[in-house]
Structures are given as C-alpha cells and as structure tokens.
Structure 1
C-alpha cells in the first residue's frame, strides 16, 4: 500500500462491493414486497447470490495478499530478516492480515449458504470481525507519521468502525433495510476515501505533493471527507430510486397484462353464452 496503486486496489474492492450492495438490497426489499412480479427475493436465488458474493470476496482478498507479498520490494512470505535481525516489511504484513480476514469472511459466506452446519448469522459476524480488524490494524498503522498522513487515516477509521458496528447489529437484525443501506454507504465511503488517500499521499503522474504539516490542508481534507460521504449517499439514493422504479413498472405491466387476459376470458365466455 505504500504507493498509489496499493490504495487504489482496496479502494476498488470496497467501491465494487458498495455499489453492488446499493443495487442488491433495494432490489431484494422491493421484490419481497412484490413477490408476484419478481423472483429475485426467493430463498434459493438469495443463497446463490450470497455464495457468489463470498467467492468474489475470497478471490479479491487472495489477490490483495499476493500483491502485498510478492511485489518486487515485498517480503515474499519472509516475516523476519535474520541477517539484519529485524522484522521484514511489517506494513505489507499488516495489509496482508487485513486481506486475510476478508478472505476468511468470504469462505464463511460460502460455508454458511451451502451447508446447514453453522448458523446463518455467522456470515455477518465474521464480516463484522473482518471490518473491525481492518480498523484495528490501521489505528496502529500511522504512529509517528506526518500530521496529514495520520489525519486521512483517522478519518478512514470513522467509516471502518461505523461499518463494523452496523454489521454487528445485523447479526441480530438480519434483513433490516436501514442497516443494510447504512452499511452500504459506509462501504462506498471507504472505497472512495482509499482513492483519496492515494491522491493525497502518493500523487499519480508526478503531481505536486501535499504539504503534510499545513493545517489548512487538514481543514480541507476534513471537508472533502464529508463531500465523499455525500457522494456515497447520493449513489445509494439514486440506485434505490432506480431499482424501486423498475420493480414498480414491472408490477404495473404485470397487472395490466393480467387485466387484459381477464377481459379476453370474459369476452370468450360471453361469446360462448351467445352461441
């Protein structure tokens, strides 16, 4: 992660999942209210989606761990340098640990929805643990760094720990659309903020570097964080509106088709009576 690409990778991970959730949960909610016109809310369909989602999560986490370990200046699975008598590339190991827990969460998702050996709520519990571990690692990740570097990472922790708490509540209130949409907005915020950290600390294309000790930069970046969350809420709201409109349109078309079929049947019965 000690470069722009290292922040863009997890940022893309969270953005993809956040945008997917902003479509998935409103669609499931709308389909449950209108089961006649939408089969997406069926138990089998949801289980398949959860399995695919868990597999995708596990694959993304594996890619992240491989990238952290086997980049040219990475540790290559070497934790301790016996020659220099010191730990080797602890930053990379911390990032790998973060990806590891998300990978475990993906595997738990698959096990939970392919067998009946574990309670269904375990998938949310493990995801909550993975998000908490991410925040726990980042909290001790920036000690001794420049002021702006510490600040952008502490702002990230607001979304991380908020997401961990929200997912933990879902263990006891599974399927609550409010909690799911709130978690989705924080996930999108994490993704966009990882990209923002990359632009601030490692400007791509040789751009001008930010003054790490300028207080005005801290004021701006705090305000920028709020803009990121407003953008996240906008994505959730727009996708919710589009999904709801599509389902309602489909429902109206289905009702009109049923009315036409009913009228045609009545006409046939009337013609038979006349004969």
Structure 2
C-alpha cells in the first residue's frame, strides 16, 4: 500500500465489523456451555421464530454482513486491478496482492449469503472457516513481502500481522465453541485492534498531506520511534478492550441476564424420585438439600 487512504479505508471497515460482532456477542441471551448448534443454524438462516417476531427490523431478513463484504471487496478489487494496470499493462504486482486479499474476503461474504439462505445444506462452521481463511491469506500476504521493506515499516507490519493471525485463530476456535461469549469477545477484540492499527499504520508510515514515507533524521530518533510504535500498539489493545467492556456492559443493561438458578437433576417421574434444583453459584445451599 503506497497511499494513506489504503490504510484508513480497510481499517475503518474492520473497526465497524469488530464493533458489530462485539454487540452481537453481548446481546446473545444463551447460557455458555449449552448446545445451540441448531439454533445458531436457524438464526443464521433467517428462519427462527425470534427473527420472525421482529418484523419491525427488516434488515434481519437480509444477509447484511455478507452483502456488505461483497460490496466493499468489489470496490477494493476494482481499485487494486485498476492501479495494477495503469496503461493496460501490468506494472504494479503489489496491487494484485491486495486484490487477492479482497478476493478471499469476497468469498467469505459469498459464503455468508449462502449460509443465510441455505443453513441446513451448508456444513456447519463454513462461514467462520472461510473468514479464518481470509484472515490467514491476508496475514500471509503481509508476512511474505516484509523482507522488501525498510526496518521501520517491517516493525509496523509485523504488529499488524500478529493481529491478523489472532483474528484467524479466534475464528477457527469459534467453530468448536460457537456458544462461548469469550471466543466471540476475542474475535471482536482482535478485529478491532486489527482495524485501529491499520489506521495507525497509515499515520506512522505516510503523511496524510504529502503521501510520502516519514524520514527519520538520526538513529536516536529511529530507536525512539521503535519504542513508541510498540507502546502505541499496546495502547491500541488497551483502548479496544475498554471500549468493548463498555459496549457489553451497556448491552447487558438493555438485555438482563437469565435467572440465577438452573435445574441440575431431573429424573424420570416415579414414586421414589423427586426433582431437585440447585441454586446457581451458592455453595451453602448444598447443606439444605432434602431428597
């Protein structure tokens, strides 16, 4: 990427998706540890009773996440290919690299649309797998061309690669633990850091007004810049974590948690058995159980 806008626009998109996924994770009313695979399939297919009751929200009837991915990646692919062929000839191979990254995220958007309309014919977790594949290809493309960059640019992009591969790993883990709010939180957190550091990289490497790389005047300034870059990345992680905590806390106020008790044991009805309930997280109640 040779332009400041090439960092800001993708970063803004990733921030938007990170915030959206964090709100989805906070609004999920299901208890962790329960088997909700069929509920997740039906909700992604737009056919659950919960979505049919919300007729006021027409966006639930459309695969908006997949449509947004397809729209944004189509613009990105068109812009990258146009930049790679300025006069009808291939001159900038690096733009083809970015077009490839956009292509895999377009595949992820296409799978989101197919899973929405055909939830029972598609393998479960295919949408998360293709999302993890898109993140992995993005990280691989950035990693492979680090050797052709200056050391300062390498340091910025290495931190970006860490965030990208973390997103890919969290997407894969969500396939195994789809009901875990912690996994959803991790995916949203790393996506938010991914997007914010994308934008920060544009400010570090390129001037928004001149569009040229920043020149470091001395080795002391250079070493100080490396330290400040690492500190800035840490601050991005802390800021993203705090923002997500605030969003989830506000969302939980609007959606109160379920009752604080569960049915621990419910045998079949008989003359010698009784239903026993155990209060949630109250160890002292075990002393008062009567069978």
* TM-score of Structure 1 vs Structure 2, range by shorter chain: 0.7 to 0.9
Give the structure with the higher percent helix.
1
Distance in 2 (CA, whole Å) between partners of 1:176 and 1:90 is 41
1:171 equivalent among 171, 175, 187: 175
1:150-189 to 2 correspondences below 5 Å: 150-189=154-193
CA root-mean-square deviation: 2.6
- 1:60 pairs with 2:72: yes
The equivalent residue for 2:283 is none
Cα distance, 1:210 vs structure 2: 5.0
The equivalent residue for 2:289 is none
Conservation of the 8 A alpha-carbon contact between 2:3 and 2:206: yes
2:98 equivalent among 92, 95, 100: 95
Conservation of the 8 A alpha-carbon contact between 2:44 and 2:115: no
Distance in 2 (CA, whole Å) between partners of 1:76 and 1:239 is 44
Distance in 2 (CA, whole Å) between partners of 1:76 and 1:123 is 35
- 1:211 pairs with 2:219: no
The equivalent residue for 1:266 is none
1:192 equivalent among 196, 213, 220: 196
1:32 equivalent among 25, 30, 33: 30
Conservation of the 8 A alpha-carbon contact between 2:30 and 2:179: no
Distance 1:45 1:173, change over 3 A: closer
Cα distance, 1:67 vs structure 2: 2.0
The equivalent residue for 2:85 is 75
2:117 equivalent among 114, 118, 142: 114
Q: Secondary structure at the match of 1:203?
A: coil
The equivalent residue for 1:17 is 17
- 1:224 pairs with 2:232: yes
Conservation of the 8 A alpha-carbon contact between 1:201 and 1:210: no
Gaps of 5+ in 2: 32-38, 47-59, 260-291
Q: Provide, for residues 201-255 of structure 1, a one-character-per-residue CA deviation record: whole Å limited to 9, x for no partner.
A: 1111249935296121111101100000111111111110000011129x9xxxx
The equivalent residue for 2:63 is 51
Distance 1:146 1:173, change over 3 A: same
Conservation of the 8 A alpha-carbon contact between 1:22 and 1:184: yes
Structure 1's consecutive aligned runs of 4 or more residues displaced over 4 angstroms after TM superposition are 41-46
Size of the aligned set, in residue pairs, is: 233
Q: Provide, for residues 165-215 of structure 1, a one-character-per-residue CA deviation record: whole Å limited to 9, x for no partner.
A: 111111222232111101100000011111111001111124993529612
TM-score normalised to the size of structure 2? 0.73
Conservation of the 8 A alpha-carbon contact between 1:200 and 1:210: no
Conservation of the 8 A alpha-carbon contact between 1:69 and 1:77: no
Conservation of the 8 A alpha-carbon contact between 2:66 and 2:110: yes
Distance in 2 (CA, whole Å) between partners of 1:32 and 1:111 is 25
Q: Provide, for residues 137-182 of structure 1, a one-character-per-residue CA deviation record: whole Å limited to 9, x for no partner.
A: 0001232211110100000011111111111111222232111101
Distance in 1 (CA, whole Å) between partners of 2:246 and 2:252 is 10
Conservation of the 8 A alpha-carbon contact between 2:41 and 2:124: no
